[in-house]
Amino acid sequence: MRGASWLFVVLSAVLCGSAEETSRVDDEKNVTVPGLLTKYGYPVETYEVTTEDGYVLTMFRIPYGKKSPLTEGERRPAVLLQHGLMNSADDWLIIGPDRALGYILADAGYDVWLGNIRGNWYSQKHQDYSPKKDKFWKFSWHEHGIYDMPAQIDHVLNATGHKQIFYIGHSMGTTMFYVGMSLKHDYNEKIRAMFSLAPIAFMNHMKSPLFRILAPLTSVVQFVAAEVVRLRPYTIIVRSRMASSKSLTDDEMERIVNDPPFLQSDEETTADEDEFILSDDDSTSEATSESSCEESDEEACHFRQYNYGILKNFKRYGKATPPDYNLANVTAPVYLFYGPNDWLAGPTDIDRLHNQLGNSKEKNKIEFPKFNHLDFIYGRDAYDFVYKPVLDLMNSYEKGTI
């Protein structure tokens, strides 16, 4: 056994759960975005979008809602929803109608587009090589920002005929936006407004114990990741009662919420009326994970491109360290929403992001002390604290009052 194998064992145990948990969700893997929308009586369209570097991404569209039928000739304002790390378009639907943002926006009269980044279970195709090959997984959030995001924005614009769209991102869905907009300046003009839920850029004031432990061990994590090219972490998936007849006990729920690295204790999310299951649907690359760990280095916190090591950095960037992303180039209107109990997006780091963005309009702290990183997607009060304020802002843009 190689020297770093112990770390891989620890990471596997924390990220992947048990065989018993795997068997519990075997019958749930067919619950997809089209399946959920159809089940609840919403229209759905599926598209494949090819990026400049050959990745084939799957996008879903909800052209109208049950509460807002489409009239003939009507062209609705478009909004692109972008999920976070190790997740998928499922995030915006799985807590069900009247609660999940995808349904809410469609019912409010918006043309809703659900994006998927390369590597997640909806987007494991490439024009030239298979996801079974290591080369497929050689990407980081940099590629999400400069390839995946622009391709999806352009597709929505071409399909709808709009010149601008709204963009809503969660976690890494915000990170890739900052990356793309900082490097592809012309795309700022294609965004009416961007809403950042649990924004991630600077991370040197995060409270997550696991990430703080791993931060000094970046080289070890890189070594392990080189052997395990594709990480398939188990993520919490919340599904409505119509999606499953099985629920976890309170003790199981508490263990799940307190163990994974992207969650923390004192969660606002509850299992009162929902079913919580574990799924290994979504994958990520080792480069994305390494970038996340690297950005948590408190001694030299940067929001910058991927660190390939000194020699490769000189070859790629012309200097020993990667270049920072210039956030002043992000000139699209940005609205920040963050939770006081978010272990990844700390208030000091949010302040720094707010001050460096080229056009940060508002910095909104959720007025609930237990609101955490995943409550933006799964929280029972997400509508009151997040979705309604976002919808009010979008409606203000539509009315021309902003």
The residues assigned a catalytic role are 171, 373
- Contacts from 125-132 at CB under 8 Å and sequence distance 24+? 125/48, 125/55, 125/56, 126/54, 126/55, 126/56, 127/50, 127/54, 127/55, 127/56, 128/54, 131/230
Instruction: Tell which residue, 95, 144, 86, has the closest CA to residue 281.
Output: 86
Rounded to whole angstroms, the Cα distance separating 392 from 398 reads 10
**What does the DSSP 8-state code read for residue 325?**
P
Residue 372: CB partners within 8 Å, gap ≥ 6?
A: 263, 264, 266, 267, 268, 269, 339, 341, 342, 343
> Residue 169's beta-bridge partner residues?
82, 196
Tokens, residue 129 = 């090589």
| Number of helices followed by number of strands (H, E) in the chain | 16, 13
Rounded to whole angstroms, the Cα distance separating 87 from 34 reads 16
DSSP 184-212: -GGGGGGEEEEEEES--S--TT---HHHH
Rounded to whole angstroms, the Cα distance separating 394 from 402 reads 9
Q: Please tell me the chain's helix, strand, coil percentages from 3-state DSSP, rounded to the nearest 5.
A: 40, 15, 45
